[in-house]
Amino acid sequence: MSKTHGESKDHLDLTDLTARREEFLETFFRKGAEFAAELLAEMEKIRGENKALSDENAALRRQLASDDAIRDLLSKIEVLENEKAALFHKVHGAKDCGGDLVDKYAEVEKELDAMANLYVASYQLHATLEPQEVLGVIEQLLAQLVGTKSFAIYLRREDAGALFLVPVHAYHCDTAAGTRTAWGEGPIGEAAETQVQYVADPRRKLNGAPLACIPMVLGRTTVGVIAIFELFEQKTEFVRIDFELFKLLALHAASAIVGAGLFTRAGGVGGALDVYRQLG
């Protein structure tokens, strides 16, 4: 009976060992399965994170490429803006230069026109030796070149040692006709005595006083005075060419008037040339 009991005990030990081995294996495989599942889950998570990082990296690359393109575009825009500014500066400079050239051309053209007018005036004054024609030429010059509406030409006279001025030609100036002016009195007489031009501002009301008095001088002698009383409405002031014409009239009108008077007194060309024959 003791033998039977020992065999039963060994059988129980083997059974228990087998159960434990199976339990261990079951636990091991279950743990292995769980670990594998966790490992797969972790790998899936890492794979997802890796994909997210890849997508983010790709997005960053695209953004970087876009930023580079924007930088290139901004650089090109800056270059174009600089070129535009340079071209604008050149165009502006050329425009200023062109404007200066136009102004200079206009100024030269104006000067040439003034010189032409002065030449014509000088030529016309000496183109005739008829007293009335000389006075008519002075009238045309004052009316057409200066814009004179009314004026009078006074010539020197002497009576009993006293000098005075008598109007010999009045242009739309009835108040001056027939009246004589004392030498040295008033703007007209002072211009004759001092041989200095008198010029007032045409925009001021002078109550019948002359706007300008031009003494006509031959050598050192005052021959007469041209007195301007009124200008045309569109003529608001005297300009530089007017003063140049006044200078010309001061010198050449006197010699033209005196020459025409001597020519008439001599009886024409023949009588005038007799003076030169006596010189020979």
CATH code for position 189: 3.30.450.40
- Give tens-digit pLDDT for 90-111: 877 776 666 666 777 677 666 6
Percentage of the residues of the chain whose pLDDT score is greater than 90: 16
Q: Which residues pair with 165 in a beta bridge?
A: 156, 181
Look at residue 197 and tell me if it is in a domain: yes
What token pair was written down for 212?
A: 């300008």
Between these two residues, 145 and 206, which has the higher pLDDT value?
145
Percentage of the residues of the chain whose pLDDT score is greater than 70: 78
Look at residue 230 and tell me if it is in a domain: yes
Which pLDDT score, from 0 to 100, does residue 96 have? 67
Look at residue 191 and tell me if it is in a domain: yes
Between these two residues, 75 and 252, which has the higher pLDDT value?
252
The b-or-e profile of 78-87 (16+ CB within 10 A means b, else e) is eeeeeeeeee
- Give tens-digit pLDDT for 197-237: 999 888 876 677 899 999 999 989 999 999 999 999 888 88
Radius of gyration of the chain (CA): 59
**Residue 2 pLDDT level (bands cut at 50, 70, 90):** very low
- Give tens-digit pLDDT for 146-205: 899 999 999 999 887 888 999 988 888 877 766 788 999 999 999 999 999 999 888 876
Look at residue 29 and tell me if it is in a domain: no
Can you tell me the mean pLDDT for 250-273? 81
Domain with 190, as residue range(s), is 126-279
Counted domains in the chain: 1
Look at residue 219 and tell me if it is in a domain: yes
For residue 188, how many other CB atoms are within 10 A of its CB? 26
Which pLDDT score, from 0 to 100, does residue 3 have? 47
Which pLDDT score, from 0 to 100, does residue 196 have? 94
